[in-house]
Amino acid sequence: MTAPHPRTTALTTPAPVADAPPVQRTVEVVGARPVDAYVELRLAAPEIAERAQPGQFVAFAVGGETSGLLLRRSIAISTAADGVVTVVVSAAGPGSTWLTQRRPGDTVDVVGPLGRPFPAPPAGARALLVGGGYGAAALVGLAAQLKEAGHEVAAVAGAASADRLCSVQELTELADTLAVTTDDGSSGRRGLVTLAVDELLPGCGVVYACGPMRMLQAVADAATALGVPSYVAVEESMACGIGVCMTCVLPVVGSDGLTRLSRSCTEGPVFGGDRVRFDDVGTLPWDVVGADAMGVTRP
Protein backbone atom coordinates (compact mmCIF):
# COMPACT_ATOMS: atom_id res chain seq x y z
CA MET A 1 0.00 0.00 0.00
CA THR A 2 1.31 3.44 -0.85
CA ALA A 3 0.61 6.37 1.41
CA PRO A 4 -0.48 9.56 -0.35
CA HIS A 5 2.07 12.29 0.32
CA PRO A 6 1.12 15.85 1.18
CA ARG A 7 1.78 18.59 -1.36
CA THR A 8 2.82 21.91 0.00
CA THR A 9 0.88 24.81 -1.39
CA ALA A 10 0.29 27.93 0.56
CA LEU A 11 -1.11 30.72 -1.61
CA THR A 12 -4.78 29.98 -1.12
CA THR A 13 -6.99 28.52 1.57
CA PRO A 14 -10.00 26.44 0.44
CA ALA A 15 -13.02 28.65 -0.24
CA PRO A 16 -15.37 28.66 2.78
CA VAL A 17 -18.96 27.45 2.48
CA ALA A 18 -21.72 29.93 1.64
CA ASP A 19 -23.54 31.90 4.34
CA ALA A 20 -26.98 30.44 3.61
CA PRO A 21 -28.34 27.04 2.52
CA PRO A 22 -30.06 26.70 -0.87
CA VAL A 23 -33.80 26.67 -1.57
CA GLN A 24 -35.83 25.01 -4.33
CA ARG A 25 -38.46 27.24 -5.96
CA THR A 26 -40.64 27.43 -9.03
CA VAL A 27 -39.88 30.90 -10.35
CA GLU A 28 -41.08 33.13 -13.17
CA VAL A 29 -38.91 34.19 -16.06
CA VAL A 30 -39.15 38.00 -16.21
CA GLY A 31 -36.66 38.62 -18.98
CA ALA A 32 -35.16 36.65 -21.86
CA ARG A 33 -32.73 38.47 -24.13
CA PRO A 34 -30.44 37.05 -26.82
CA VAL A 35 -26.92 38.42 -26.39
CA ASP A 36 -24.78 37.35 -29.34
CA ALA A 37 -24.27 33.58 -29.05
CA TYR A 38 -26.06 33.38 -25.67
CA VAL A 39 -29.39 34.06 -23.98
CA GLU A 40 -29.63 36.09 -20.79
CA LEU A 41 -32.48 34.95 -18.53
CA ARG A 42 -33.84 37.08 -15.69
CA LEU A 43 -35.70 35.20 -12.95
CA ALA A 44 -37.99 36.62 -10.26
CA ALA A 45 -36.42 34.61 -7.45
CA PRO A 46 -36.24 36.79 -4.34
CA GLU A 47 -35.29 34.02 -1.90
CA ILE A 48 -32.40 32.93 -4.11
CA ALA A 49 -31.34 36.51 -4.89
CA GLU A 50 -31.13 37.51 -1.23
CA ARG A 51 -28.97 34.48 -0.37
CA ALA A 52 -26.69 34.52 -3.45
CA GLN A 53 -23.01 35.40 -3.24
CA PRO A 54 -20.71 35.94 -6.26
CA GLY A 55 -19.29 32.65 -7.55
CA GLN A 56 -22.37 30.60 -6.71
CA PHE A 57 -24.66 28.92 -9.23
CA VAL A 58 -28.22 27.70 -9.68
CA ALA A 59 -29.43 24.30 -10.96
CA PHE A 60 -32.41 24.11 -13.31
CA ALA A 61 -34.76 21.23 -14.01
CA VAL A 62 -35.27 21.19 -17.78
CA GLY A 63 -37.98 20.07 -20.18
CA GLY A 64 -41.00 20.32 -17.89
CA GLU A 65 -42.47 17.89 -15.36
CA THR A 66 -42.67 14.85 -17.62
CA SER A 67 -39.33 15.48 -19.30
CA GLY A 68 -37.08 12.53 -20.05
CA LEU A 69 -34.08 14.75 -19.26
CA LEU A 70 -33.61 14.14 -15.55
CA LEU A 71 -30.33 15.78 -14.70
CA ARG A 72 -30.18 19.35 -13.47
CA ARG A 73 -28.39 22.02 -15.52
CA SER A 74 -26.04 24.05 -13.36
CA ILE A 75 -25.44 27.64 -14.45
CA ALA A 76 -23.40 30.38 -12.78
CA ILE A 77 -25.28 33.32 -11.30
CA SER A 78 -24.32 36.50 -13.14
CA THR A 79 -26.05 39.01 -10.88
CA ALA A 80 -28.52 38.79 -8.00
CA ALA A 81 -30.18 42.03 -6.97
CA ASP A 82 -33.64 43.41 -6.19
CA GLY A 83 -35.18 39.95 -6.12
CA VAL A 84 -33.95 39.09 -9.61
CA VAL A 85 -31.36 36.46 -10.48
CA THR A 86 -29.66 36.78 -13.88
CA VAL A 87 -27.95 33.91 -15.70
CA VAL A 88 -26.38 33.62 -19.16
CA VAL A 89 -27.19 30.38 -20.97
CA SER A 90 -25.25 28.89 -23.85
CA ALA A 91 -27.31 26.42 -25.90
CA ALA A 92 -25.02 23.40 -25.98
CA GLY A 93 -27.40 20.42 -25.83
CA PRO A 94 -31.14 19.72 -25.58
CA GLY A 95 -31.40 20.82 -21.92
CA SER A 96 -29.66 24.16 -22.25
CA THR A 97 -31.45 24.77 -25.56
CA TRP A 98 -34.78 24.28 -23.75
CA LEU A 99 -33.65 26.88 -21.22
CA THR A 100 -32.76 29.40 -23.94
CA GLN A 101 -36.29 28.98 -25.32
CA ARG A 102 -37.96 30.17 -22.08
CA ARG A 103 -39.96 33.38 -22.46
CA PRO A 104 -41.17 35.96 -19.93
CA GLY A 105 -44.14 34.52 -18.05
CA ASP A 106 -42.84 30.94 -18.23
CA THR A 107 -41.90 29.25 -14.96
CA VAL A 108 -38.83 27.12 -14.19
CA ASP A 109 -37.89 24.91 -11.24
CA VAL A 110 -34.60 26.14 -9.86
CA VAL A 111 -32.41 25.21 -6.88
CA GLY A 112 -29.96 27.71 -5.46
CA PRO A 113 -27.82 29.42 -4.58
CA LEU A 114 -25.38 26.49 -4.70
CA GLY A 115 -21.67 26.03 -4.19
CA ARG A 116 -18.98 28.05 -2.47
CA PRO A 117 -18.62 31.74 -3.31
CA PHE A 118 -15.41 33.57 -4.19
CA PRO A 119 -13.57 34.41 -0.95
CA ALA A 120 -13.08 38.12 -0.22
CA PRO A 121 -9.72 39.63 -1.27
CA PRO A 122 -7.16 40.95 1.22
CA ALA A 123 -8.04 44.48 2.38
CA GLY A 124 -7.20 47.11 -0.21
CA ALA A 125 -5.94 44.59 -2.75
CA ARG A 126 -6.25 45.27 -6.46
CA ALA A 127 -8.22 42.41 -8.04
CA LEU A 128 -7.90 40.90 -11.50
CA LEU A 129 -11.02 39.22 -12.92
CA VAL A 130 -10.65 36.92 -15.93
CA GLY A 131 -13.62 35.49 -17.83
CA GLY A 132 -13.56 33.11 -20.78
CA GLY A 133 -16.63 32.91 -23.05
CA TYR A 134 -19.86 32.99 -21.04
CA GLY A 135 -17.72 32.48 -17.93
CA ALA A 136 -17.35 36.25 -17.84
CA ALA A 137 -20.99 36.50 -16.77
CA ALA A 138 -20.13 34.91 -13.41
CA LEU A 139 -17.78 37.82 -12.67
CA VAL A 140 -20.29 40.66 -13.05
CA GLY A 141 -21.74 40.37 -9.54
CA LEU A 142 -18.24 39.94 -8.13
CA ALA A 143 -16.97 43.07 -9.90
CA ALA A 144 -19.85 45.07 -8.45
CA GLN A 145 -19.24 43.74 -4.95
CA LEU A 146 -15.50 44.43 -5.12
CA LYS A 147 -16.00 47.99 -6.37
CA GLU A 148 -18.49 48.64 -3.61
CA ALA A 149 -15.93 47.42 -1.06
CA GLY A 150 -13.44 49.93 -2.46
CA HIS A 151 -11.18 47.58 -4.41
CA GLU A 152 -9.55 48.52 -7.68
CA VAL A 153 -10.77 46.06 -10.32
CA ALA A 154 -9.07 45.09 -13.58
CA ALA A 155 -10.90 42.68 -15.87
CA VAL A 156 -10.16 40.57 -18.91
CA ALA A 157 -12.86 39.05 -21.11
CA GLY A 158 -11.76 36.58 -23.76
CA ALA A 159 -13.41 34.22 -26.22
CA ALA A 160 -12.86 32.37 -29.48
CA SER A 161 -14.61 35.10 -31.46
CA ALA A 162 -16.53 38.34 -30.89
CA ASP A 163 -19.95 36.66 -30.75
CA ARG A 164 -18.73 34.36 -27.95
CA LEU A 165 -17.66 37.22 -25.68
CA CYS A 166 -19.98 37.86 -22.77
CA SER A 167 -20.90 40.62 -20.31
CA VAL A 168 -18.40 43.04 -21.89
CA GLN A 169 -20.69 46.01 -21.44
CA GLU A 170 -21.41 45.25 -17.77
CA LEU A 171 -17.73 44.76 -17.03
CA THR A 172 -16.81 47.97 -18.90
CA GLU A 173 -19.15 49.89 -16.61
CA LEU A 174 -17.89 48.24 -13.41
CA ALA A 175 -14.16 47.66 -13.83
CA ASP A 176 -11.44 50.30 -13.71
CA THR A 177 -9.80 48.70 -16.74
CA LEU A 178 -11.09 46.08 -19.14
CA ALA A 179 -9.09 44.18 -21.74
CA VAL A 180 -10.78 42.13 -24.46
CA THR A 181 -9.11 39.31 -26.37
CA THR A 182 -10.39 36.95 -29.09
CA ASP A 183 -8.62 34.00 -30.66
CA ASP A 184 -9.48 35.23 -34.18
CA GLY A 185 -9.02 38.94 -33.53
CA SER A 186 -12.67 39.73 -34.35
CA SER A 187 -12.84 41.90 -31.22
CA GLY A 188 -10.13 43.38 -29.02
CA ARG A 189 -6.65 41.94 -29.24
CA ARG A 190 -5.97 38.74 -31.15
CA GLY A 191 -4.80 35.98 -28.82
CA LEU A 192 -5.54 34.25 -25.54
CA VAL A 193 -6.56 35.99 -22.30
CA THR A 194 -3.06 35.31 -20.95
CA LEU A 195 -1.77 38.11 -23.22
CA ALA A 196 -3.66 40.64 -21.14
CA VAL A 197 -3.35 38.71 -17.87
CA ASP A 198 0.45 38.79 -18.00
CA GLU A 199 0.35 42.58 -18.35
CA LEU A 200 -2.26 43.24 -15.68
CA LEU A 201 -1.10 40.75 -13.05
CA PRO A 202 1.83 42.66 -11.51
CA GLY A 203 0.46 44.72 -8.63
CA CYS A 204 -2.67 42.60 -8.18
CA GLY A 205 -3.34 41.02 -4.78
CA VAL A 206 -5.78 38.38 -6.03
CA VAL A 207 -7.07 36.84 -9.26
CA TYR A 208 -10.57 35.46 -9.89
CA ALA A 209 -11.32 33.46 -13.02
CA CYS A 210 -14.23 31.64 -14.62
CA GLY A 211 -14.22 29.88 -17.96
CA PRO A 212 -12.99 26.77 -19.76
CA MET A 213 -10.58 24.48 -17.88
CA ARG A 214 -7.55 25.23 -20.09
CA MET A 215 -8.00 28.95 -19.58
CA LEU A 216 -8.35 28.52 -15.82
CA GLN A 217 -5.15 26.52 -15.76
CA ALA A 218 -3.22 29.14 -17.72
CA VAL A 219 -4.49 31.98 -15.52
CA ALA A 220 -3.87 30.08 -12.27
CA ASP A 221 -0.35 29.13 -13.36
CA ALA A 222 0.48 32.74 -14.29
CA ALA A 223 -0.80 33.99 -10.92
CA THR A 224 0.96 31.28 -8.91
CA ALA A 225 4.23 31.97 -10.72
CA LEU A 226 4.08 35.58 -9.48
CA GLY A 227 3.01 34.53 -5.98
CA VAL A 228 -0.49 35.93 -6.40
CA PRO A 229 -3.39 33.88 -4.94
CA SER A 230 -5.99 32.90 -7.52
CA TYR A 231 -9.51 31.49 -7.25
CA VAL A 232 -11.08 29.68 -10.17
CA ALA A 233 -14.73 28.71 -10.68
CA VAL A 234 -14.66 25.38 -12.52
CA GLU A 235 -17.24 23.96 -14.88
CA GLU A 236 -17.50 20.19 -14.40
CA SER A 237 -20.49 18.27 -15.63
CA MET A 238 -22.94 18.01 -12.75
CA ALA A 239 -25.94 15.70 -12.45
CA CYS A 240 -27.50 17.08 -9.25
CA GLY A 241 -25.66 20.28 -8.26
CA ILE A 242 -26.31 19.65 -4.55
CA GLY A 243 -23.59 17.14 -3.64
CA VAL A 244 -25.40 13.79 -3.66
CA CYS A 245 -24.38 12.10 -6.94
CA MET A 246 -20.55 12.28 -6.91
CA THR A 247 -20.33 12.78 -10.68
CA CYS A 248 -18.67 16.21 -10.64
CA VAL A 249 -15.31 15.45 -9.04
CA LEU A 250 -11.80 16.63 -9.85
CA PRO A 251 -8.44 16.27 -8.06
CA VAL A 252 -7.94 19.10 -5.57
CA VAL A 253 -5.27 19.56 -2.91
CA GLY A 254 -6.86 20.12 0.51
CA SER A 255 -5.64 22.21 3.44
CA ASP A 256 -3.85 19.10 4.77
CA GLY A 257 -1.84 18.88 1.53
CA LEU A 258 -3.59 15.66 0.44
CA THR A 259 -5.33 15.36 -2.92
CA ARG A 260 -8.94 14.19 -2.99
CA LEU A 261 -11.46 13.81 -5.78
CA SER A 262 -13.57 16.77 -4.65
CA ARG A 263 -17.11 17.59 -5.70
CA SER A 264 -17.14 20.75 -7.79
CA CYS A 265 -20.73 21.48 -6.71
CA THR A 266 -20.31 21.52 -2.94
CA GLU A 267 -16.56 21.80 -2.36
CA GLY A 268 -16.36 24.17 -5.36
CA PRO A 269 -17.13 25.48 -7.89
CA VAL A 270 -14.61 27.96 -6.52
CA PHE A 271 -11.25 26.38 -5.74
CA GLY A 272 -7.83 27.87 -5.06
CA GLY A 273 -6.14 28.01 -8.48
CA ASP A 274 -2.99 26.47 -7.00
CA ARG A 275 -5.03 23.61 -5.49
CA VAL A 276 -6.65 22.19 -8.64
CA ARG A 277 -4.46 19.56 -10.32
CA PHE A 278 -5.53 20.56 -13.83
CA ASP A 279 -3.22 18.12 -15.61
CA ASP A 280 -4.77 15.22 -13.69
CA VAL A 281 -8.45 16.04 -14.33
CA GLY A 282 -10.11 12.93 -15.78
CA THR A 283 -7.40 10.60 -14.44
CA LEU A 284 -6.79 8.86 -11.13
CA PRO A 285 -3.27 9.70 -9.88
CA TRP A 286 -1.85 7.22 -7.36
CA ASP A 287 -1.48 9.82 -4.61
CA VAL A 288 -5.20 10.69 -4.48
CA VAL A 289 -6.72 9.64 -1.14
CA GLY A 290 -8.39 6.25 -1.68
CA ALA A 291 -6.75 5.51 -5.06
CA ASP A 292 -4.98 2.53 -3.46
CA ALA A 293 -8.37 0.94 -2.78
CA MET A 294 -9.08 1.24 -6.53
CA GLY A 295 -5.94 -0.75 -7.29
CA VAL A 296 -3.87 2.29 -8.37
CA THR A 297 -0.43 2.09 -6.81
CA ARG A 298 2.71 4.20 -6.85
CA PRO A 299 4.53 3.65 -10.16
Partner 1 sequence: MTAVETAVDMSTALGAVPIPSPVLTASGCSAFGRELEPFVDLTAIGAVVTKSVQLRPRSGRPTPRMAETPSGMLNSIGLQGPGIDGLLDGELPWLAERGARAFVSIAGVRVEDFAELATRLRGVPGVAGLEVNISCPNVESRGEVFACDPVAASDVVAAVRAAADPAQPIYAKLSPDVTDIVSVARAVVDAGADGLSMINTLLGLVIDPDTMKPLLGGITGGLSGPAIRPVALRCVWQVHAALPEVPILGMGGIRSGLDALQFVLAGASAVSVGTAVFNDPSALGRIHAELAAALETRGFASLREAVGYAHR
Binding-site residue positions: 240, 245, 248, 265
First to last CA, the chain: 12
Please report whether residue 261 would count as binding partner 1 according to CB under 8 A.
yes
Binding-site residue numbers for [2Fe-2S] cluster are 240, 245, 248, 265
Check residue 91 for interaction with partner 1 (CB under 8 A): no
The answer to the question of residue 246 lying near ligand FES (CB under 6 A) is: yes
- Closest CB 87 distance from ligand FES, rounded Å: 17
CA pair distance 55, 39, nearest whole angstrom: 19
What is the three-class DSSP state of 71? coil
Residue 242 sits in the site that holds partner 1 (CB under 8 A): yes
Phi/psi for 192 (5° steps) reads -85, 165
Q: What's the one-letter identity of residue 286?
A: W
Size of the site for ligand FES (CB under 6 A): 12
When asked if residue 39 is in the footprint of ligand FES (CB under 6 A), the reply is no
Note whether 72 binds partner 1 by CB under 8 A.
Answer: yes
Q: Parallel, antiparallel, or unpaired: how do β-strands 177-182 and 189-190 relate? A: parallel
Question: Measured from the CB of residue 269, what is the shortest distance to ligand FES in angstroms?
Answer: 10
What is the number of other CB atoms lying within 10 angstroms of the CB of residue 131? 30
Q: Which is nearer to partner 1, 183 or 280 (CB)?
A: 280
CA angle 155, 160, 164 (to 5 degrees): 75
**How far apart, in whole angstroms, are the C-alpha atoms of residue 237 and residue 181?**
26
Site for ligand FES in 258-277 (CB under 6 A): 263, 265
To ligand FES, the closest distance from the beta carbon of 118 in angstroms equals: 19
The correct pick among 23, 81, 92, 225 for binding partner 1 (CB under 8 A) is: 23
Q: Measured from the CB of residue 277, what is the shortest distance to ligand FES in angstroms?
A: 18
Q: Is residue 247 a contact residue for ligand FES (CB under 6 A)?
A: yes
Confirm if 268 and 234 have CB atoms less than 8 A apart: yes
Report angle CA 163, 79, 12 to the nearest 5 degrees. 95
Residue whose CB is less far from partner 1, 22 or 158: 22
Q: Minimal distance in Å, beta carbon 283 to partner 1?
A: 5
Strand partners, 181: 158, 189
CB of 265 to partner 1, least distance (A): 9
Interface with partner 1 (CB under 8 A), residue from 195, 205, 245, 278: 245
Least distance (Å) from ligand FES to the CB of residue 240?
A: 4
279: Cβ contacts below 8 Å, ≥ 6 apart: 217
Interacting residues of 238 by C-beta distance below 8 A, sequence separation 6+: 59, 71, 72, 74, 245, 247, 248, 264, 265
Question: Which of 102, 116, 151, 260 is in the footprint of partner 1 by CB under 8 A?
Answer: 260
- Residue 280, judged by CB atoms within 10 A of its CB (0-12, 13-18, 19+), counts as middle
Give the interface with partner 1 as residue ranges (CB under 8 A). 21-24, 61, 68-72, 95, 109, 111, 236-237, 239-240, 242-250, 260-261, 266, 281-284, 288-294, 296
Give the interface with ligand FES as residue ranges (CB under 6 A). 238-241, 243-248, 263, 265
